[in-house]
A and B are shown apart, each in its own frame.
Chain A
Amino acid sequence: GAGVSQSPRYKVAKRGQDVALRCDPISGHVSLFWYQQALGQGPEFLTYFQNEAQLDKSGLPSDRFFAERPEGSVSTLKIQRTQQEDSAVYLCASSLVITPTANYGYTFGSGTRLTVV
C-alpha cells in the first residue's frame, strides 16, 4: 500500500481482556518496529522485526506483550490480560532497509489508541 496502515484506529478494552493490534507495513519493507506512546510522552521502543525474525524485543514491558510477523509482512501486537497502564497509542513503523539511511527512512502509521477501562 501507499503507507503503513494500522487497525483498529481505536480500541476500548475492559481490564483483563486480550487485544490484538495489526500493522500493515509498506510492501517490501524489511524492517518493522512497534512503539508505545503514553499520554504526554514520546514514543518508546517495544520490538523490532527484520522480515519474519524478531531480533529485538527488549522494550516489551512484560510477558503479557507478544508480537509476531510470521510471513515477514503484516505484524500483530498482542496484549494479554490488559491493565490500565497499557492505555497508550501503539505506533508501527517500517523501513525498506535494515538500517534506515537518508534516502530510506522510517514510515510511521497513524497508530492504534488503546484505552483500558
Chain B
Amino acid sequence: AQRVTQPEKLLSVFKGAPVELKCNYSYSGSPELFWYVQYSRQRLQLLLRHISRESIKGFTADLNKGETSFHLKKPFAQEEDSAMYYCALRREYGNKLVFGAGTILRVKS
C-alpha cells in the first residue's frame, strides 16, 4: 500500500528565512507526487507536481527516488505563505490521491 509521511505538524519560521517542508513516501512503483496548499478559509488547491518541474510562488520540490522524498522548499519565506501544506501521491496509471497528514506553515514577521 502507498503511504505519505509528513513528519512535522507545524513549522514556524521568520519572514525571509528558508523553508523546507518534508515529505517521504512509500510505494514500490513510479509514483506521481504533488504538493497541495490550503490557505485560511479557502479550498484545497494544487501548488505543484513533480512531473512539471516548475517553480510556483517561489516554491520548488524535487523527487528523490533513492530517498523516497519530495520535500518542498522556498529560499525566502513570505507571510502570505502561511497555510496548511499537504503532500500527496498518485500511483502510476491510477487516479486517486494518497495524502499525508499535512504541515502547518506559519511565517512570522
Interface string of A53-69 (1 = CB under 8 A from B): 00010010000000000
Interface residues in A39-73 (C-beta closer than 8 Å to B): 40-45, 48, 56, 59
Give bound CA distance, A112 to B95, whole Å.
22
- Which residues of B are found within 8 Å of A42, using beta-carbon distances? 4, 6, 86, 88, 99-102
CB distance from A93 to the nearest CB of B (A): 8
Give the dominant DSSP class at B's interface. loop
Residues of B within 8 A of A (CB): 4, 6, 9, 43-46, 49, 51-52, 86, 88, 93-102
CB distance from B33 to the nearest CB of A (A): 13
Q: Count the A residues whose beta carbon is within 8 Å of the partner chain — how many?
A: 25
- Given A108-B45, A111-B43, CB of A99 within 8 Å of CB of B101: no
- Which residues of A are found within 8 Å of B102, using beta-carbon distances? 41-42
CB distance from A108 to the nearest CB of B (A): 4
